[in-house]
Amino acid sequence: MAVADWLRVFASGLNCDLAVASVLFLCIADYYFFEEFRSRFSTVAIDYLLYPHEVFVNVWSCWD
């Protein structure tokens, strides 16, 4: 097997591992979030994950 073939197989396996790890992390995070707040992730929580800079700027401006 050539080096390029080996690298392609390794990269595709790594992508699958990352996808499985991401789904597993979200399932675990969803469980603990549900246990803590008795509700599911909302779109606001997803926005906090997607736009952390804006969230921290808003929190910091309220704190001052």
Tokens of 2: 């050539």
pLDDT value of position 25:
94
Tokens of 31: 């469980």
Tell me the pLDDT tens digit for each residue of 12-49. Answer: 777 788 888 999 998 998 888 778 777 666 777 788 88
d(CA 5, CA 23): 27
- Of residues 49 and 1, the one with the higher pLDDT is 49
pLDDT value of position 40:
66
